[in-house]
Amino acid sequence: MRQAVITVEYQVTIADVKTGTARRTIDLDERTVDALRAWRLVREQEAALAGLTVSEDETVFAGPDGSLTHPDYFSQVFDRHLAASDLPRIRFHDLRHTHASIMLKAGVPVKVVSERLGHSSPAFTMTVYQHVIPGMQADAARLFCEALYG
């Protein structure tokens, strides 16, 4: 991630990310990459129907003409879908926390989670996600014991 879509006085624009650690490249799993490629194909087909082309530097989720999508749109659509489901009510931003919590509980090193989130240090990540850490401590003790004693 090298740039971010932001709003200034409700006008959408692209700007540099906030910090040096926010400027990062992260790996994606194959299923996510396949979904993004499928979406790109849909975008290209829609654009072709309108006599347009999709540029290489276009954002992933753009308007039919390639225009930037207002960030609030994603939260609003998420909220509508959530309201129509039986899922617990969370904010769109909470998906970021869910992602981090799942990775930490799965044993992904804090340093890696920190880098994926663009945090300035693993210490910050541990502070924000300390609620996940206690259960992991017991797992760490068990794994250490197994490694030590077989």
pLDDT of residue 22: 62
pLDDT of residue 76: 95
Same domain flag for 13 and 77: yes
pLDDT of residue 13: 82
Same domain flag for 35 and 106: no
Same domain flag for 58 and 76: yes
| Residue 112 pLDDT greater than 90, yes or no | yes
Q: Are 60 and 4 in contact (CB under 8 A)?
A: no
**pTM score of the predicted model:** 0.72
| Residue 32 pLDDT greater than 60, yes or no | yes
Same domain flag for 23 and 79: yes
- Residue 7 sits at the vertex; the CA angle it makes with 3 and 11, to the nearest 5 degrees, is 120
Tokens at residue 54, please? 């999709």
Tokens at residue 62, please? 């753009």
- Structure-model confidence comparison of residues 2 and 86, the more confident one: 86
- Structure-model confidence comparison of residues 91 and 135, the more confident one: 91
Domain span at 20: 1-89
Which residues are 10's β-sheet partners?
Answer: none
Domain boundary pick from 72, 89, 106: 89
Q: What is the share, in percent, of the chain residues with pLDDT greater than 90? A: 47
pLDDT of residue 89: 92
Cα distances (angstroms) measured from residue 47 to each of 23, 27, 37, 62, 116: 30, 28, 15, 11, 32
| Residue 2 pLDDT greater than 90, yes or no | no
Same domain flag for 10 and 54: yes
